[in-house]
């Protein structure tokens, strides 16, 4: 790096170091505070009767027996709730043409997916509420269910929303260069594949949950929830329950996994808040595992027909694809279910130099649970399609898959530049990352070993992925579309009388270590030992406004706000210190909790003495000095829609052609997330993400039958990666700080989940190639592998 | 559904007698009646391991045992471990390795890992992974947990 020296050119005690998270101590002693741990006086419990059919007209609901059960306090149907809740519609104005239908917390008249909440029971305990739910009789006249997204737009398919002419929610086309001419060239090789990406879901270990309390004397709602975006929820409750925004407080404490599952607005949670309002008593709702499978947003569900043309030198002449994605009966509110398809169009092939690019996405309604943003939105599809086609093309023209990437990846010195789809790209390092990967995995040696093993009937394969990753989104992401979702975040940092520092930030903590990195930044920038930093996040009453956690923005946006606030507090403190010490601010510094001479470092005054003087003994200060020992700063990305990061990953697998089982033997991930604030946290984010990606590639699928019945809504039937079948994962870093901030941090949370599926798919195909077989469907279950091999 | 029984049991060294519905599972009793919320519920059907607790020296799934079945038993939860020295080395190793993210699986994971370590298990990554394979973690990639267990077995951490 060139340019003026910054704070990062001198050694730092905390930023960049593997400092342990303070939170782990608490969690390891069983002192976490998760939603179900909250007990309030007079608290009631909610349970929901959910739709047993995928599509039908509700003709009658009999709740009398349920209401009569001792311990039941209230029973609400959709009609009971409708007068109290303003309906919501999941559209964004910048996704031109996106449409959805008004939604209510409980279905009114028509039910549109298995698991849609129909009736809410409020009782003295969850057990009684469930007993009562079992006594509710709902009459439903079944309607034809739209389940196959590939035929959802056919004229013969029923239309889910009567007011619409078709089941199309949104369509977008990107068309750059002259794609048809490029495919028609006679010097190119064309490869065509159909990819299928199954529906899967987040399976957060802590299910969704909320405790709502309403104080009628002050018209105030407090909503504790297991979620990622407190300020967004504050707006939503105010708007849809008719409360002044300042009378709604949303608190999110420990969150037991989120991954985007807990960033949306769920009918059962709004209904819970409404029940608290109507009853004037606290109400708790915690989803059970079955409810989670039925109603937590699902993800992916795409069919992509893709084509690539490469010339004899391996250069990409054109890339084109059509994507269909099924989103359930509504576009999820307020983030919309069209963002994933939009990202697929934006990101596919984005690491590569490409002049001709055409992509079309159709987002369609169906009678299944809603599909929406989950970790690495659109990334697994984009990366698997581009790199799947590229690796297949490399084999067609007899070129090594690393070599073909070297020839097509955007050069590391080409930035700023833009992708074929028009995304602004800067500060990326595709080549350096690829070379780091190739070194780490000992690529050539492994290839040779595989060739030898193949002679013994052992089928191993390597698959790579080069990726870009969306992080640090700007207001161009949601704000421009009219959603109440902040892209900026704020931090307030205060010097306490005891000399400690208190940070409150609008980004939230779900285990990724937000609180720890904020403490690291505050401690280094302001100048106190990290043990003297306390961090508060996740409370709309006490933290600055901000977006919370989504799209890997905690470190890059929340961290930068914290840095700026810490610097501002430092200036404030030095101004006061200069007066007390009869010096000048520029001649002083703060180190290890004391004001020191900038030169020589001699201690002049403890911060605790300074703070006590300001807070308790103002009489000792000149009257024209008006000290402030608290500073707030907000930060947003301004000149880019997102700050992209990049990475390179590789999987090594062994496929058993007899059973169809795929074992991931090794995985390597190189990630360039800019400035690394805490390498242990980044490594573990990447590893956790890779394992989720391997889950999507090999195991996880929400299986529906033709009637729209979810077939595997238990943890015993829905497979997730467990310790035994996961490999050790090598993580390497390349650090190219983003120029958009002083801190230079980008996100790392999406990487593994976005990249691993494509890498695993490429590896499986590499292993299958000598057997004349290929698979482009995820999850790659043993049965599908055997089908690809022609064995079943 | 109001059938109840009175049971007597010792939890984290404290003995008491309690009247519980016969249909209540052990982890719900521990969390809701005793207020020991460290043990978690992830699936309530015996798959995820989040509710793992020690009952008479064995690791059991608190969601698969009824509270009435624990009559007379001696139970240790994560809170009980924290109050004793047991597991102290594992706790430091988990913290140093960041072998937990959201921490929701952690009480069950720690109980299962401690069971392995105290039984004299070897620092063999495949064996550790096999032992932990009934405990689901959605946040970590499991690797840091295996590292932490190895650190303790090989004496690399101080409690
Ligand atoms: S809650 Fe008991 S095993 Fe999942
Ligand atoms: S740390 Fe979140 S489930 Fe394990």
**Is the residue at A593 inside a domain?**
yes
CATH code of the domain covering residue A618: 3.30.365.10
| Whether the Cβ atoms of residue B100 and residue A30 lie closer than 8 Å to each other | no
Clarify whether residues A437 and A307 are in a common domain.
yes
Clarify whether residues A452 and A531 are in a common domain.
no
Cα gap A525→A670, rounded to integer Å: 28
Phi, psi of A549 (to 5 degrees): -120, 120
Clarify whether residues A662 and A773 are in a common domain.
yes
Q: What is the pLDDT of residues A104-139, one digit of tens each?
A: 999 999 999 999 999 999 999 999 999 999 999 999
Place of tokens 């065509």: A192
Cα gap A31→A379, rounded to integer Å: 36
Cα gap A595→A53, rounded to integer Å: 68
- Give the model's confidence band at A396: pLDDT under 50 very low, under 70 low, under 90 confident, else very high: very high
Clarify whether residues A429 and A322 are in a common domain.
yes
Q: What is the pLDDT of residues A272-328, one digit of tens each?
A: 999 999 999 999 999 999 999 999 999 999 999 999 999 999 999 999 999 999 999
- Give the model's confidence band at A380: pLDDT under 50 very low, under 70 low, under 90 confident, else very high: very high
Could you tell me which of A773, A738, A699, A708 has the C-alpha nearest to residue A203? A699
Q: Given this model, what pLDDT does residue A1 score? A: 41
Domain boundary among A295, A319, A349: A295
Q: Peptide bond preceding A416: is omega within 30 degrees of 0, i.e. cis?
A: yes
Which of A154-163, A370-379, A515-524, A544-553 has the least mean pLDDT? Answer: A544-553
Number of domains present in the structure of chain A: 3
Domain boundary among A240, A271, A295: A295
Clarify whether residues A631 and A535 are in a common domain.
yes
**Is the residue at A168 inside a domain?**
no
Nearest CA in chain A to B102: A511
Tell me: pLDDT of A680 over 80. yes
- Give the model's confidence band at A3: pLDDT under 50 very low, under 70 low, under 90 confident, else very high: low
DSSP string, A460-480: EEEEEEEEEEEES--TTTTGG
Clarify whether residues A629 and A673 are in a common domain.
no
Helices (H), A478-558: 514-522
Could you tell me which of A329, A429, A319 has the C-alpha nearest to residue A114? A329
Q: Is A353 on the interface with B (CB under 8 A)?
A: no
Contacts of A374 by beta carbon, 8 Å cutoff, 6+ apart = A201, A202, A259, A260, A261, A297, A298, A299, A300
Coil, strand or helix at A228: coil
Q: Peptide bond preceding A779: is omega within 30 degrees of 0, i.e. cis?
A: yes
CB atoms within 10 A of CB B3: 9
Taking every pair of Cα atoms in chain B, the longest distance, rounded to a whole number of angstroms, is 52
**B-contacting residues of A 128-157, CB under 8 Å?**
128, 131
Tell me: pLDDT of B1 over 60. no
Cα gap A501→A565, rounded to integer Å: 12
Cα gap B137→A722, rounded to integer Å: 7
Tell me: pLDDT of A404 over 90. yes
Q: Given this model, what pLDDT does residue A637 score? A: 85
Domain boundary among A240, A275, A295: A295
Domain that holds residue A242: 35-143+202-295
The answer to whether the CB atoms of A512 and B101 lie below 8 A apart is yes
CA A459 from centroid of its chain's CA atoms: 35
**Is the residue at A772 inside a domain?**
yes
DSSP designation for A159: P
Nearest CA in chain B to A514: B101
Clarify whether residues A697 and A711 are in a common domain.
yes
Q: Given this model, what pLDDT does residue A8 score? A: 78
- Cβ-in-10-Å burial (0-12, 13-18, 19+) of A168 comes to middle
**Is the residue at A572 inside a domain?**
yes
Structure ipTM: 0.97
Cα gap A229→B37, rounded to integer Å: 25
Cα gap A756→A695, rounded to integer Å: 9
Phi, psi of A216 (to 5 degrees): -65, -25
CATH code of the domain covering residue A46: 3.90.1170.50
Looking at every residue in chain A, the average pLDDT score rounds to 96
| Whether the Cβ atoms of residue A10 and residue B83 lie closer than 8 Å to each other | no
DSSP designation for A362: E
Chain A residues in contact with B130 (beta carbon < 8 A): 723-724
Clarify whether residues A581 and A728 are in a common domain.
no
**Is the residue at A191 inside a domain?**
no
Pairing of strands A298-311, A188-201: antiparallel
**Which element (helix H / strand E) includes A210?**
strand A209-215
| Whether the Cβ atoms of residue A154 and residue A169 lie closer than 8 Å to each other | no
Cα gap A258→A299, rounded to integer Å: 13
- Compare CB distances from B98 to A21, A258, A729 and report the shortest one's residue: A21
**Candidate of A34, A205, A226, A687 to mutate for ligand 2, largest count of ligand atoms within 8 Å of Cβ:** A205
CA distances (Å), origin A125, targets A358, A393, A618? 56, 60, 54
**Candidate of B48, B51, B102 to mutate for ligand 2, largest count of ligand atoms within 8 Å of Cβ:** B102
CA distance A34 to chain B (A): 8
- Cβ-in-10-Å burial (0-12, 13-18, 19+) of A244 comes to exposed
Structure tokens at B85: 């020295």
Tell me: pLDDT of A545 over 50. yes
**Is the residue at A170 inside a domain?**
no
Clarify whether residues A27 and A41 are in a common domain.
no
**Is the residue at A156 inside a domain?**
no
**Is the residue at A177 inside a domain?**
no
The 3-state DSSP composition of chain A as helix, strand, coil percent (nearest 5) reads: 30, 25, 40
Partners of A193 in the beta sheet?
A: A306
| Whether the Cβ atoms of residue A686 and residue A665 lie closer than 8 Å to each other | no
Q: What is the pLDDT of residues B77-122, one digit of tens each?
A: 999 999 998 999 999 999 999 999 999 999 999 999 999 999 999 9
Structure tokens at A373: 């943003």
Could you tell me which of A319, A310, A466, A306 has the C-alpha nearest to residue A397? A310
Clarify whether residues A306 and A429 are in a common domain.
yes
Tell me: pLDDT of A351 over 60. yes
Burial of B68-97, coded b for 16+ CB within 10 Å and e otherwise, reads bebeebebbbbbbbbeeebbbbbbbbbbbb
Clarify whether residues A73 and A137 are in a common domain.
yes
Entry pTM = 0.97
Please give the average per-residue pLDDT across A89-101, as a whole number. 91
Residues having CB within 6 Å of any atom of ligand 1: B 41-44, 46-51, 61, 63
The answer to whether the CB atoms of A681 and B98 lie below 8 A apart is yes
- Check residues A483 and A736 and name the one with the higher pLDDT: A736
Clarify whether residues A254 and A342 are in a common domain.
no
């Amino acid at each position: 790096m060139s340019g003026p020296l910054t704070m990062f050119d001198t050694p730092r005690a905390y930023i960049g170091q593997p400092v342990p998270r303070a939170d782990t101590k608490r969690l390891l002693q069983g002192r976490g505070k998760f939603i179900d741990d909250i007990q309030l006086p007079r608290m009631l419990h909610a349970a929901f009767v959910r739709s047993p059919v995928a599509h039908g007209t509700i003709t009658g609901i009999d709740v009398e027996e349920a209401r009569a059960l001792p311990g039941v306090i209230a029973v609400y149907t959709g009609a009971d709730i409708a007068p109290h809740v303003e309906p919501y519609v999941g559209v964004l104005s910048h996704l031109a043409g996106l449409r959805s239908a008004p939604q209510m917390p409980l279905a009114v008249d028509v039910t549109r997916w298995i698991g849609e909440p129909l009736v809410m029971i409020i009782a003295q305990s969850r057990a009684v509420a469930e007993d009562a739910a079992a006594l509710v009789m709902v009459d439903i006249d079944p309607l034809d269910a739209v389940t196959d997204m590939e035929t959802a737009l056919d004229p013969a398919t029923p239309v889910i929303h009567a007011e619409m002419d078709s089941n199309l929610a949104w369509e977008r086309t990107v068309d750059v260069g002259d794609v048809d001419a490029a495919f028609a060239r006679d010097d190119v090789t064309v490869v065509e594949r159909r990819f299928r990406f199954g529906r899967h879901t987040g399976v957060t270990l802590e299910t969704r949950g909320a405790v709502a309390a309403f104080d009628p004397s002050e018209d105030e709602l407090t909503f504790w929830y297991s979620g990622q975006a407190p300020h967004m929820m504050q707006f939503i409750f105010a708007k849809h329950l008719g409360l002044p925004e300042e009378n709604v407080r949303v608190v999110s404490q420990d969150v037991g996994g989120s991954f985007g599952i807990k960033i949306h607005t769920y009918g059962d949670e709004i209904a819970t808040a409404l029940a608290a309002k109507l009853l004037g008593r606290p109400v708790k709702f915690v989803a059970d595992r079955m409810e989670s499978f039925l109603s937590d947003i699902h993800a992916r569900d795409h069919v992509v027909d893709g084509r690539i043309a490469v010339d004899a030198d391996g250069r990409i002449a054109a890339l084109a694809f059509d994507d269909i994605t099924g989103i359930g009966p509504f576009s999820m509110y307020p983030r919309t279910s069209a963002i994933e398809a939009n990202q697929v169009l934006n990101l596919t092939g984005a690491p590569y130099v490409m002049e001709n690019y055409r992509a079309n996405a159709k987002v369609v309604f169906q009678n299944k649970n809603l599909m929406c943003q989950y970790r690495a939105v659109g990334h697994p599809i984009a990366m698997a399609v581009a790199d799947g086609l590229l690796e297949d093309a490399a084999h067609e023209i007899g070129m090594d898959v690393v070599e073909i990437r070297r020839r097509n990846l955007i050069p590391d010195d080409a930035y700023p530049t833009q992708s074929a789809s028009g995304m602004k790209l800067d500060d990326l390092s595709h080549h350096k990352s690829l070379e780091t990967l190739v070194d780490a995995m000992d690529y050539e040696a492994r290839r040779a070993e595989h060739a030898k093993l193949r002679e013994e009937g052992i089928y191993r394969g390597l698959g790579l992925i080069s990726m870009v990753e969306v992080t640090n989104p700007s207001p161009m992401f949601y704000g421009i579309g009219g959603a109440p979702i902040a892209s900026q975040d704020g931090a307030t940092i205060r010097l306490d009388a005891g000399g400690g520092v208190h940070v409150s930030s609008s980004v939230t903590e779900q285990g990724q270590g937000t609180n720890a990195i904020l403490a690291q930044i505050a401690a280094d920038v302001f100048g106190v030992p990290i043990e003297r930093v306390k961090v508060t996040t996740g409370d709309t009453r006490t933290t600055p406004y901000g977006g919370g956690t989504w799209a890997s923005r905690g470190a890059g946006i929340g961290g930068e706000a914290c840095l700026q606030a810490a610097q501002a507090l430092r200036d404030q403190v030095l101004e006061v210190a200069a007066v007390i010490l009869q010096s000048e601010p520029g001649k002083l510094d703060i180190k290890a909790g004391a004001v020191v001479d900038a030169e020589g470092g001699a201690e002049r005054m403890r911060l605790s003495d300074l703070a006590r003087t300001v807070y308790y003994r103002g009489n000792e200060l000149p009257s024209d000095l008006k000290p402030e020992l608290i500073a707030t700063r907000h930060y947003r990305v301004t000149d880019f829609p997102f700050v992209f990061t990049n990475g390179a990953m590789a999987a090594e697998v062994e496929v058993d052609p007899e059973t169809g089982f795929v074992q991931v033997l090794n995985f390597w991930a190189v990630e360039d997330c800019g400035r690394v604030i805490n390498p242990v946290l980044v490594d573990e984010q990447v590893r956790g993400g890779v394992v989720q990606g391997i889950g999507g590639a090999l195991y996880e699928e929400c299986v529906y039958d033709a009637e729209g019945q979810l077939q595997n809504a238990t943890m015993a039937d829905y497979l997730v990666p467990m310790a035994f079948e996961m490999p050790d994962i090598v993580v390497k870093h390349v650090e190219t700080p983003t120029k958009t901030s002083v801190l230079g941090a980008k996100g790392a949370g999406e990487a593994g989940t976005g990249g691993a599926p494509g890498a695993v798919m490429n590896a499986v195909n590499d292993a299958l190639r000598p057997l004349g077989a290929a698979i482009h469907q995820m999850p790659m279950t043993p049965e599908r592998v055997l089908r690809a091999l022609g064995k079943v | 559904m109001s059938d109840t029984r009175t049971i007597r049991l010792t939890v984290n060294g404290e003995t008491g007698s309690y009247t519980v519905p016969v249909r209540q599972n052990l982890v719900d009793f521990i969390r809701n009646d005793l207020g020991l919320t460290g043990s978690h519920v992830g699936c309530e059907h015996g798959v995820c391991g989040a509710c793992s607790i020690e009952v008479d020296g064995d690791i059991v799934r608190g969601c698969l045992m009824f509270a009435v079945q624990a009559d007379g038993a001696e139970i240790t939860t994560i809170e009980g471990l924290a109050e004793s020295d047991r597991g102290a080395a594992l706790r430091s190793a988990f913290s140093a390795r960041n072998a937990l993210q959201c921490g929701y699986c952690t009480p069950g994971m720690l109980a299962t890992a401690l069971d392995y370590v105290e039984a004299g298990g070897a620092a063999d990554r495949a064996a550790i992974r096999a032992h932990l394979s009934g405990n689901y973690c959605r946040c970590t990639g499991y690797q840091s947990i295996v590292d932490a267990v190895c650190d303790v077995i090989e004496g690399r951490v101080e409690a």
